[in-house]
């Protein structure tokens, strides 16, 4: 038969066809698809509102989604910054930053959306630092624990 070309032999009654059955948790329906597992839920998020301060976003090992908006308003010679950092207790690494310095005589407003995922080891923490003329308003949601076990939205129960 034409559909058998390239298999080397004709399909006969003596051939064994082995069906493949997917028995993974995803196939059986006991694991949410990724887009549903990362859903925002009332009891699963922590709001963050940083303005002229340093605020800890997360300090327990695991995977976290950080999302929101960083904004800065500046006038002549005013500098405004928003910095996201991960620290291990002895040193810090900047992971995202917005730095605005206005050299014009008019007021400027700069705004950027933020949506990223960080992994924190045991002992690491993630923070946001804003100057007086800058703000980060957003939320954080834990997606998985330190071992990679997914954290479903709070209140979700498999039926």
Residue with the bigger pLDDT between 87 and 14: it is 87
Assess if residue 138 is contained within a domain: yes
Q: Which domain holds residue 142?
A: 44-151
Number of domains in the chain: 1
Domain-embedded: residue 22: no
CATH number at residue 126: 2.60.120.1010
Would 23 be classed as within a structural domain? no
**68-101 exposure pattern, b = at least 16 Cβ within 10 A, e = fewer:** bebbbbbeeebebbbbbbbbeeeeeeeeeebebe
Residue 13: the pLDDT is 59
Q: CA 92 to CA 152: how far, in whole Å?
A: 30
Q: pLDDT of 82-118, one tens digit each?
A: 999 999 999 999 999 999 887 777 788 889 999 999 9
- Using the predicted structure, report yes or no on whether residue 44 has a pLDDT greater than 80: yes
Q: Which of these ranges, 40-44, 120-124, 141-145, has the smallest mean pLDDT?
A: 40-44
């Amino acid at each position: 038969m034409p559909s058998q070309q390239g298999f080397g032999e004709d399909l006969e009654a003596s051939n064994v066809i082995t069906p493949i059955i997917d028995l993974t948790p995803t196939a059986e329906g006991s694991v949410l698809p990724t887009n549903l597992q990362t859903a925002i839920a009332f009891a699963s998020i922590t709001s963050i509102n940083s303005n002229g301060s340093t605020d800890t976003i997360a300090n327990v090992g695991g995977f976290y989604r950080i999302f929101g908006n960083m904004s800065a308003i500046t006038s002549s010679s005013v500098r405004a910054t928003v910095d996201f950092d991960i620290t291990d207790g002895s040193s810090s690494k900047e992971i995202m930053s917005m730095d605005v310095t206005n050299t014009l005589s008019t007021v400027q407003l700069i705004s950027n959306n933020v949506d990223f995922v960080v992994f924190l080891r045991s002992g690491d923490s993630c923070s946001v630092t804003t100057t007086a003329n800058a703000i980060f308003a957003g939320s954080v949601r834990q997606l998985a624990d330190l071992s990679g076990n997914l954290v479903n939205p709070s209140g979700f129960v498999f039926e």
